[in-house]
Structure 1
Amino acid sequence: MFTVIEQAVEARLVAAAPRMPTIPATLRYDMRDPFAVHMSFPASATLEDVDVSWTFARELLAVGLGEAAGQGDVRVRPYGFERTVLEFHACEGTAIVHIRTGELRRFLTSTAMLVPVGDEHLYLDLDADLAELMREA
């Protein structure tokens, strides 16, 4: 059984230039961390020329498809019918990307087939997490 879902998406970086460049990005979901989604960008798409990965709640992504969501480092909102905007805020600056809403819906559907929404708590292994914390202490 698969425990991880990865999906490549086409992101359009919002910049001052009139044409938004397309950058590759990958959405990742691991059922061992059932509340989280990871989105990564390759070094070639970043100002610092290093791979960048953001982690945020699966629920944030789902809510953001229909209405503005998020108050912290990651914010999601619809942009018309076909696109969704993701904003990533860091001390170095803000990156804003547009992604096809259909791609995000397909990804969320796949994650829900792996871990149904509302059942995430059933996939947590609190004993293993506690043991890991104790080993690190």
Structure 2
Amino acid sequence: MPKIANTTAVADSRPTLPTSRVGGGVHDASVFPAKNPTIIQLFSLGVENVSTVLDHVVLGRLVLSTIRAVTMYVTVRYQDDDPLAVRMFFPARYALDSEDGGEVVEWAFSRSLLAAGIDAPAGLGDVQIRPVPGDYIIVELSSPDGAAVVVFERQELQTFLWASYQVVGQGQEVIDGDRAIAEVLKDTT
């Protein structure tokens, strides 16, 4: 399976997103967007394991060149059991490995990075976020497989961020240390 170094070098002219280092899941990010973020309560069989998930489907534009972009629906997710992180799910058809059936492309980064990037350039690593004139936000994603630039409307991401603060307030995030260590160890095996 060949990997593509950038978003413009695809043989069939389809744009692609670099593969995330976060494991993908089964999630359809191509559903029609809702006006407001959707809060879902996920219940396990045990009484103690209740999780609140905030999903917000937004319109994003994957930039192909200075004059060309492709529009797609992106699901932005916040979960109270992972309170420091925000996840973005991009449609599988834009993944680098989509020729093999590909999975949804999932990127995870800190909620504080998203908050900072709405007002000023933020991020030094694989995810960089910055506002641009016209009330838009640019999210740049890079990995060893390639890079992508996705443009969102500022209001959509602000609405999501505000709703996430209703689930877990800013500065109120609590981390379960044992769970975090278990997750890290799970990812390395």
Q: What range is the shorter-chain TM-score in?
A: 0.7 to 0.9
Residue 18 (structure 1) aligned with residue 37 (structure 2) = no
User: What is the SS of the residue equivalent to 1:88?
Assistant: strand
Q: What is the Cα deviation at residue 125 of structure 1?
A: 2.5
Deviations 1:44-74 (A, max 9, x none): 1223212210000000000000110000000
Identity %: 36
One-letter code aligned to 1:38: R
Who is 1:61 aligned against?
114
TM-score, structure 1 as length reference? 0.88
Residue 94 (structure 1) aligned with residue 143 (structure 2) = no
Who is 1:118 aligned against?
171
Match of 2:159 among 85, 88, 106: 106
Q: Which has the higher contact order (CA 8 A, sep 6+)?
A: 2
How many residues in Structure 1 have an aligned counterpart in Structure 2?
133
CA 1:90–1:128: 2 relative to 1, 3 Å: closer
Q: Distance between the aligned counterparts of 1:68 and 1:46, measured in 2?
A: 26
Match of 1:35 among 84, 87, 100: 84
Q: Distance between the aligned counterparts of 1:48 and 1:127, measured in 2?
A: 34
User: What is the SS of the residue equivalent to 1:21?
Assistant: strand
Q: Distance between the aligned counterparts of 2:127 and 2:164, measured in 1?
A: 19
Q: What is the Cα deviation at residue 93 of structure 1?
A: 1.3
Match of 1:80 among 111, 116, 133: 133
Q: Distance between the aligned counterparts of 1:97 and 1:78, measured in 2?
A: 12
Q: What is the Cα deviation at residue 81 of structure 1?
A: 4.0
The structure 1 segments of at least 4 consecutive aligned residues displaced by more than 3 Å after TM superposition are: 127-130
One-letter code aligned to 2:54: I
Supply the RMSD in Å over aligned alpha carbons. Answer: 2.0
Q: Distance between the aligned counterparts of 1:8 and 1:84, measured in 2?
A: 15
Q: Distance between the aligned counterparts of 2:130 and 2:54, measured in 1?
A: 23
For structure 2, the residue ranges without an aligned partner over 5 or more in a row are 1-39, 42-51
Q: What is the Cα deviation at residue 80 of structure 1?
A: 1.3
For structure 1, the residue ranges without an aligned partner over 5 or more in a row are none
Q: Distance between the aligned counterparts of 2:146 and 2:73, measured in 1?
A: 19
Conservation of the 8 A alpha-carbon contact between 1:24 and 1:45: no
